[in-house]
Structure formats: structure tokens, C-alpha cells
Amino acid sequence: MIYEFEGRSEKEAVDRAAEELGLEKDDFDVEILEVRRQGIFKKGHVRIRVHTDKPAAPSYSGAPAGGGRGGSGTEESGISHRTTFGAPEAQTDFEQTLIDFVTNLIEHMGYAGEVSVLFREEHKLGLKIDSDYSSILIGKKGKNLDALQLLANIYAGRQGREDMRIILDTENYRIRREESLVRLAYTVADRVRENRGSVLLEPMNPFDRRLIHTTLNDIADVETKSEGEGLYKQVRVYYKGLR
């Protein structure tokens, strides 16, 4: 499900989302839709979009974002409930508009590239960037690609598709990153079990942190928790015997 929340700061908006939905902060992914910095005569304002597979608390009275918005359902998009591959050309005006946006975006950065559809889901669209400059577009730890993806999601929302989550990938970075994080999680788990200690991982975005938590969730004598503030928190992996 997808929800939207506002606050005077990023932290306040995320805290409000967690409190009202009755979820832990690692139970959802966050996209920043709008940031208005605080000035002398105006208060700061941040609007975020929350993606989660877990149900909201029964006490939550809000409605999912995009729900009931005319013309924004799956019938208009032509996207099925299952993930579909094999049709890289745009099949709707929305897909073509988004492809053009991402293409123009990387061109304004000074890099040539070709953008096509990687996959389709009911509320998710994957776009692939083929470029000789993929390593630059990915950036350190994928931060450039994350920034491009954020802009693509903001643009999709301004096209009336707040219900759609956009995933950008190039050179299969997302898949390689997931595989790398899973290997890292198991390696660190073995280390803390051997040393009866803990390891604090590098700052990660919500999706990467969630992958670490999920990977180690079934290991009985190892637990994980997120530490820090903001979106890029660190995951601590520790042996339960420390409690």
C-alpha cells in the first residue's frame, strides 16, 4: 500500500507515518516528494510517500494515496497484477512520458543513454538505462541512481500517478546490489556468532536495510536493529547473547 504524510522536517514526517500506521520505520520505504526549507518568515515543509506491504493499524483512519483517483487505476495503465517482462517499448502515454523524462534528465547531466521498460507490475514500473556512462549514473553505493529514481517518482506523481512506484536500473545494478547485501548479511552473521559481538554496517537506504533485516530474520541467535537518524541509517547485527 502507498500512503502520504507531511511534516516540518523529514524526521517529523517519517515519525508521523510510523506512529499513524502503527509500523516500525524499517517496515516501509520512503520517497521524498516535496521539500520546502525553513526560512526567516516560513516554516519548513516535507511531504513523503510511504510504500509498505504490511497492513496499517486498525486505528489508522487515512486512505491509501492514489486510491479513488479517477483514471489512475490499473485498467487505464494496462498493467497486470503480475510482473511482466519482454516488452521494452512504451505501451501507454504515461510510460512514454516517463521514458522521455528520464532520457532528458540524463542528457541534461551530460550523458547519453537509452531508456526502456524493464518490467511492469500493478503499482510498479521498472525502467532500464543503457548507457556507456552507467558507472557514473549509478554513483557511489548507488546514490546517483537513487537520486534519479526519486526524481522519476516525483515526476510520476505530478502526472497523477501517485499510485505508481518507479524503479530505475542500469547494468543490473539493483540485482547485483541485492545479491551483494545478502552475502554481506550472512558473512556478518557468521562473524557475530563466532565473536559473540556486534557489527555496525554502513549507512543504507530503507530498502537496503529492510533486505538485511529480512535476510537475517530467521537466524535464531542473531538479531538486527537500525540506528541513527534520517533515511540513511545503519544496521547493527548482533548476537542475542549480548542481551
**Total residue count of the chain as it appears in this document:** 243
74-88, 182-196, 213-227: the lowest-pLDDT one: 74-88
Residue 62 lies in a domain: no
Residue 231 lies in a domain: yes
The pLDDT score that the predictor gives to residue 85 is 62
H/E run at residue 48:
strand 45-51
On whether both 104 and 163 belong to a single domain, the answer is yes
Distance (Å, rounded) from C-alpha 24 to C-alpha 29? Answer: 11
Residue 95 lies in a domain: yes
Using DSSP, state whether 190 is helix, strand or coil: helix
51-55, 78-82, 98-102, 204-208: the lowest-pLDDT one: 78-82
CATH of the domain at 104: 3.30.300.20
Are 160 and 190 a contacting pair, CB within 8 Å? no
On whether both 122 and 145 belong to a single domain, the answer is yes
The pLDDT score that the predictor gives to residue 53 is 76
Q: What is the pTM assigned to this prediction?
A: 0.59
pLDDT tens per residue across span 133-152: 999 999 988 889 989 998 99
What mean pLDDT do residues 236-241 have? Answer: 86
**Which of 138, 171, 204 is the last residue before a domain boundary?**
171
Residue type for 204, please? M
Residue 65 lies in a domain: no
- Classify strands 114-121 and 222-227 as parallel, antiparallel or unpaired: unpaired
Domain range for 18 is 2-51
pLDDT band at 73 (very low <50, low <70, confident <90, very high): very low
pLDDT tens per residue across span 219-228: 888 999 888 8
- In this model, does residue 158 exceed pLDDT 70? yes
Distance (Å, rounded) from C-alpha 236 to C-alpha 52? Answer: 22
